[in-house]
A and B are shown apart, each in its own frame.
Chain A
Amino acid sequence: MNGPLIVQSDKTLLLEVDHERADDCRRSIAPFAELERAPEHIHTYRVTPLGLWNARAAGHDAEQVVDALVEYSRYPVPHALLVDIAETMDRYGRLTLSKHPAHGLVLTSTDRPVLEEVLRSKRIAPLVGNRIDPDTVAVHPSERGQIKQTLLKLGWPAEDLAGYVDGEAHPIELHEDGWALRPYQKQAVENFWHGGSGVVVLPCGAGKTLVGAGSMAQAKSTTLILVTNTVSARQWKHELVKRTSLTEEEIGEYSGTKKEIRPVTIATYQVLTTRRKGVYPHLELFDSRDWGLILYDEVHLLPAPVFKFTADLQARRRLGLTATLVREDGRESDVFSLIGPKRFDAPWKEIEAQGYIAPADCVEVRVNLTDSERLAYATAETEEKYRFCATTATKRKVTEAIVRRFAGQQILVIGQYIDQLDELGEHLDAPVIKGGTSNAQREKLFEAFRQGEISVLVVSKVANFSIDLPEATVAIQVSGTFGSRQEEAQRLGRVLRPKADGHQAHFYSVVARDTIDQDFAAHRQRFLAEQGYAYRIVDADELLAES
């Protein structure tokens, strides 16, 4: 009765990290509990139905879960909670989707009343066909994703045993010369491959692309990679050429500008979700080849229409990559039912401790508005308020001071408002990358930054995703997309790539005091604080005085 775990009545689990058995405990509870917060002393895991079903899908049973809780719990675990866990887990697998030799895809039940219950649901009725026998009902193959999604919402998640098509074979090998997959990356690939489909959660900079490449080398088949934007697509292509046996010619780009379909095709979410006259003209991409693997980069950003398309792709292996399963729209359950359960995750701090991501010093700088700005802020229209306080002139002075302090290091200044960025660019004498900058110009500037030809780069939110700036050691955030937590995580990720010289990374967030900017900042930082990235808060005056 002196375990490291405390089970709370709201089904959160508190793990005392400094406890000697904390690591064993973490390993035991990770399969079924979601790590919610990982600050310095006590990590919070949450037991959700989704998590319990994830565990069932990964082959764990209720007894293991209960044993893990009872084994490590410091206080007696409420009996009701154990019963609830067993009951919840018992719901998974009562229904299974499988291939029937004669009838194709069928939904089978080991518990007839459950089948009756779900068949009576109005949402299920259009998805199923004839009743083959009392325990089996035919399912239209095209509705495999839909029915899984709906069953999950009804609380009876189906186990999908219908298997995958192999897809068109294509030789892909990893070129491990001078580098190798890190142990956790190997583990992630293995877990994914073993599970069939699913999501791998890794911090920014922890090498998610390599997990993707490793999975492709496992699948050895044609692959469709979905990414957020063109820059990111180029990055993927670059990495794949460098790390695998694939050549430039084998990799196609399917974006607004190019429409190449090759054995490995990288498409952007944007082109897929383009609508003309109410139809999605680029959907045929999914059917254009017999894909063996579909890779979703940044799953947490997956636009809603892509979910819809994904529902139709249930026979193909799917791998989701993300830094966080937190979705601002709360559609985590769709990720679970359509792409797959979480197959691997690792706390950021753990990977940092292993030296694979750079340690970061996060600082929030609070600037005061001048008296006249305060008056103007007080009278501004509600929708203008954020813009007003986020672009206060004082921020410029602070930014300049920080840039001066880290002179000689690679510095990124990130912001939301173009006027502000242009002004900063002018004062810092640095190039500005924004929506209007052409892709060629962007890549040129990125390359120059990489080579150290320019040391300060001002970027708008176009740089939020997937650009790889290995030598950026300082990021200064002057404004953002309101309270977006995942944007904050992405931006921090810009500086977490391991530095050649083992430098500590710095992440500065400049925030106007006593305004909604401060409230948004608190919201944005919460995710990172919960990942163990505690922010220090300093006053701008102090910072200006120091420099």
Chain B
Amino acid sequence: MGRMSHQATPPRSLAEALRARDDASLGALLRARPDLITPVPTDLTQLATRAGTRASVVRALERLDRFALQTAEALAVAAEPASYQVLLGLMAGDEGDPAVTAALPRALGTLREQALVWGADDRLRLVRTARELLAPSSQHPSPTGLGPTVQEATAGMSPGRVQEIVATAGLASTHDAVSAVARLTKLFGDRKRMAKLLAGAPAESREVLDRLVWGPPYGQVTADPAARLRWLLDRGLLLPTAPGTVVLPREVALHLRGGRAHRTTEPLPPPLEAAAAHRPQVVDATAAGQAYTALATVEELLKDWDEGGPAVLRAGGLSVRDLKRTAVALDVSEPVAAFWVELAYAAGLLASDGEADERYAATPDHDEWLEQPAAERWSRLAQAWLTATRTSGVVGGRDAKDRTLSALGPGLDRSAAPEVRHRVLSLLAGLPEGTSPSAESVLARLGWERPLRGPQPDEGLRARIARWTLSEAELLGVTGRGALSTQGRALLGAPAPKAPAPEPEGPGDKLPVHHHAPPAAEPLSPAEQATAAAAAARVLAPLLPEPLDHVLLQADLTAVAPGPLKRPLAEMLDVLAEVESKGGATVYRFTPGSVRRALDSGRAASDLHAFLAEHSRTPVPQPLAYLIDDVARRHGHLRVGAASAYVRCDDDALLNEIMADKRAAGLRLRRLAPTVLATQADPATLLDGLRAMGLAPAAESAEGDVLITRAHAHRTPPRTPPEPVPDGPPVPDATLLTAAIRAIRAGDLASTAPRKPTATAPATGGELPRTSSAETLATMQAAVLTGETLWIGYVNAEGAASQRVIAPIRVEGGFVTAYDHTADEVRTYPLHRVTGVAELADD
């Protein structure tokens, strides 16, 4: 601790105060508030400015422990600048509190170190932003429960009213309101005179004060306050802030509180309560046992997923069903299964394969990991867990958009997690070896260290992470029976239980206060982590059971491995027998099915006998040997293969001949029996090939009949012939014709009947005029020009034919518009419906 350069004048600003600090002290500041050097400020003025920005101050306040925060809060309610004595009075009260007196220099030191407070002990100043954040206002009630000062509360009051209050309080009137308020403030701050004043208060009024004293200091009053309130209002012991609202002024509250800014102060961190104490050996052994289980579980998980793990959800992560299945396979609860899955992921042992049909699978790192010694495998898992921001504890919860959080999915990162984990384990490390704390006391301690809510919206996240940390550390074998194991301690890089942090030497701004946190509280750098992990692995290695190279075979067809097995042995047994029970030992059961599986995997019965004899401490029981032989006897008795064509022939000699023929090589014939050949070639190729060799094979159907060969005629599947699409109506039958003719006759009769003179009957009588369409068009156009009247035949949309006499007006777009003499109006006719046209014969 280097004393800083001497300076005669006290600093006038934070920048000056910083300038006066030495490098170590500035270093402590920057370590505590790393946001100040991103980016690196150009000078100390800029550093001071940045240290005063709201975001940075909020961040710094959130990281204060409870007592330092309380100290800052007390400073925020004191007049600026405050002396150390005033601060001590606010923290310890009039009677004083030795614990607070002892702890205050440390808390003030922290605040100074973090550049939240500056100035000498007689002129302590809270950084303005911090003051704004912590000082009570009507929008932000202070945790102290104190209200505004008399001066602030009387700011909008009429001078007359102020004088009235001063008079009622028993003070002499003054010239102006400012001095009157000052006098009133002085009165409220004077314990003796105040006591005298309050002694005269009616009991009900005292009750009102008692109700408001610890906050919130605001109360509601009616327009016409009761006598007990009026007594207080008249003397300024309650001051109006808004219509209907009154406040207890800060000075009055402090008087009533005996000068204390906080109802209770917590100068010391709550101690960790020891829930149980075990022998350190028991703790280490239990943790090692659990570490072994952890390895076995992760290996089992990845083995389970070896041939294609579960699919990746479209939104990422593992489906609930897959998690359930995994939990069942691992024989653990779902949250624990989620923990193992996340752990393997965090350690880089599994990942999504990134294929189109995305699935989870082990990574190449996993194979490498498997080859490592057990202790190193464990330290890799533990290290990954310690530093991961992904927290499996939130799996199954919902995110801000109400989507379920799935294991391995997005949204599991909680940036506070590594720090909380490290802190929890550091707390455990601070206990004597073998001692396990109660979870509640750990949580209380964490709450003291970080009383303010973090930036995360969910309440109590740190507490939840801390709880998960305790249970996960147990699962992973970092702790055993709740106490930190030696290997866990090594993992943290914490050597041994340490002495409490040294007290700072004394007050004074000139004292550079950088009592750095003990090393265990600081998360390690990556290089240190690697060292710590290696150290942990070294500690753990002798505690893990040594892999065995033998099993005990028993006549009830079981094999018991009384401990972990060497990998090749375990792999072979996994094939040869079914696992019946797991734990410290493994019980295998031999069944005909399992023996068959071993034979299928390419081992011969003699291999199996040799394997068992080699690895059994005791003679191989007769029933087991018999079982292997019995299964082997039947194994492969039936053979199954695929062939696409065969040749059979009662004459072995002919088949011999074919097999010997070089030309048959391309057919890849294989002799299944003296009279049967099989091939992968299709029957047609086989037939052609045999024919090419001058043989006369006949094809056989699936039922064994000889197929008669014919020229191959290509046929469609059954088809119906196309329906004719007629271009006109069908030919009418006799009945229809008769009826039609009768109708035509009737129409004809009508048309030939006498009519209006303009409608000249056609010369041909009854018959429609017929002309070609070109002729029709030409005649029409001519008629438009000449204004002639024409006689046309017309078939309407229903197919009814009629005769019309029209005077065309215009011909266009295939239509003729004309005055229809027959209908006596202008009509439009499609030209294609006009059968023909004729000029009217001149009468």
A6 close to B555 (CB less than 8 A)? no
Q: Does B562 contact A (CB under 8 A)?
A: yes
B587 close to A14 (CB less than 8 A)? yes
For the residues of A in contact with B, the DSSP-based class is mixed
Q: Does B289 contact A (CB under 8 A)?
A: yes
Q: Does B71 contact A (CB under 8 A)?
A: no
Contact indicator per residue, chain A 1-28, by CB within 8 Å of chain B (1) or not (0)? 1000011111010101000000000000
A39 close to B581 (CB less than 8 A)? no
**27 examples of A-B residue contacts, CB within 8 angstroms:** A1-B285, A6-B585, A7-B583, A9-B293, A9-B331, A9-B583, A10-B583, A12-B583, A14-B581, A41-B553, A41-B554, A42-B554, A44-B587, A76-B282, A76-B286, A76-B288, A76-B289, A76-B290, A77-B286, A78-B583, A79-B286, A514-B634, A529-B557, A530-B556, A534-B621, A536-B623, A537-B623
Of B286, B556, B582, the contact of A9 (CB 8 Å cutoff): B582
B584 close to A39 (CB less than 8 A)? no
Contacts of A7 in B (CB 8 A): 583-584
B290 close to A14 (CB less than 8 A)? no
Contact indicator per residue, chain B 581-619, by CB within 8 Å of chain A (1) or not (0)? 111110100000000000000000000000000000010
Taking beta carbons and an 8 Å cutoff, which residues of A are in contact with B?
1, 6-10, 12, 14, 16, 37, 39-42, 44, 73-79, 514, 526, 529-530, 534-537
B584 close to A75 (CB less than 8 A)? yes
Contacts of A9 in B (CB 8 A): 293, 331, 581-583
Q: How far is the CA of A14 from the CA of B587 in the complex (A)?
A: 9
A42 close to B560 (CB less than 8 A)? yes
| Beyond A75-B584, A76-B289, 8 additional pairs, beta carbon < 8 A | A8-B584, A9-B583, A10-B583, A14-B562, A44-B581, A534-B621, A536-B623, A537-B626
Contact indicator per residue, chain B 613-646, by CB within 8 Å of chain A (1) or not (0)? 0000010011100100010001000000000000
A39-B626 CB under 8 A given contacts A76-B288, A79-B286 = no
Of B285, B293, B552, B622, the contact of A42 (CB 8 Å cutoff): B552
A8 close to B581 (CB less than 8 A)? yes
B475 (CB) vs chain A CBs: closest residue: A80
**Which of B293, B555, B621, B622 has its CB near the most chain A CB atoms (within 10 A)?**
B555
Contacts of B585 in A (CB 8 A): 6, 8, 14
Q: How far is the CA of A74 from the CA of B288 in the complex (A)?
A: 13
Q: Does B480 contact A (CB under 8 A)?
A: yes
A534 close to B583 (CB less than 8 A)? no
Of A1, A10, A39, A76, the contact of B556 (CB 8 Å cutoff): A39
Contact indicator per residue, chain B 542-558, by CB within 8 Å of chain A (1) or not (0)? 00010000001111111
- Min CB gap B782→A, angstroms: 102
Q: How far is the CA of A534 from the CA of B627 in the complex (A)?
A: 13
- Min CB gap A7→B, angstroms: 6
Q: How far is the CA of A534 from the CA of B585 in the complex (A)?
A: 23
B581 close to A534 (CB less than 8 A)? no
Contact indicator per residue, chain B 655-675, by CB within 8 Å of chain A (1) or not (0)? 000000000000000000000
**Which of B290, B292, B556 has its CB near the most chain A CB atoms (within 10 A)?**
B556
**Which of B583, B622, B626 has its CB near the most chain A CB atoms (within 10 A)?**
B583
- Min CB gap B655→A, angstroms: 28
- Min CB gap B406→A, angstroms: 26
Contacts of B449 in A (CB 8 A): none
Q: Does B820 contact A (CB under 8 A)?
A: no
A74 close to B621 (CB less than 8 A)? no
A39 close to B545 (CB less than 8 A)? no
Q: How far is the CA of A460 from the CA of B752 in the complex (A)?
A: 120
A8 close to B587 (CB less than 8 A)? yes
Q: Does B445 contact A (CB under 8 A)?
A: no
- Min CB gap A33→B, angstroms: 14
Q: How far is the CA of A530 from the CA of B558 in the complex (A)?
A: 10
- Min CB gap A416→B, angstroms: 24
A6 close to B562 (CB less than 8 A)? yes
In chain B between 535 and 576, which residues have their CB closer than 8 angstroms to a CB of chain A?
545, 552-558, 560, 562-563
A39 close to B558 (CB less than 8 A)? yes
A39 close to B582 (CB less than 8 A)? no
Q: Does B474 contact A (CB under 8 A)?
A: yes
Contacts of B634 in A (CB 8 A): 514
Q: How far is the CA of A8 from the CA of B582 in the complex (A)?
A: 6
A75 (CB) vs chain B CBs: closest residue: B584
B331 close to A37 (CB less than 8 A)? no
Contacts of A37 in B (CB 8 A): 556, 558
B557 close to A76 (CB less than 8 A)? no
Of A10, A39, A73, A76, the contact of B555 (CB 8 Å cutoff): A39
A16-B562 CB under 8 A given contacts A8-B585, A75-B545 = yes
Q: Does B106 contact A (CB under 8 A)?
A: no
Of B289, B293, B553, B556, the contact of A529 (CB 8 Å cutoff): B556
- Min CB gap B298→A, angstroms: 15
Q: How far is the CA of A199 from the CA of B289 in the complex (A)?
A: 38
A536-B583 CB under 8 A given contacts A41-B560, A42-B562 = no
- Min CB gap B171→A, angstroms: 65
Contact indicator per residue, chain B 470-498, by CB within 8 Å of chain A (1) or not (0)? 00001000001100000000000000000
B618 close to A41 (CB less than 8 A)? yes
Of B292, B293, B554, B582, the contact of A40 (CB 8 Å cutoff): B554
B623 close to A535 (CB less than 8 A)? yes
A8-B583 CB under 8 A given contacts A39-B556, A41-B618 = yes
A40-B555 CB under 8 A given contacts A6-B583, A9-B583, A76-B285 = yes
- Min CB gap B212→A, angstroms: 43
- Min CB gap A211→B, angstroms: 28
Of B292, B563, B581, B622, the contact of A10 (CB 8 Å cutoff): B581
B622 close to A536 (CB less than 8 A)? yes
Contacts of A8 in B (CB 8 A): 581-585, 587
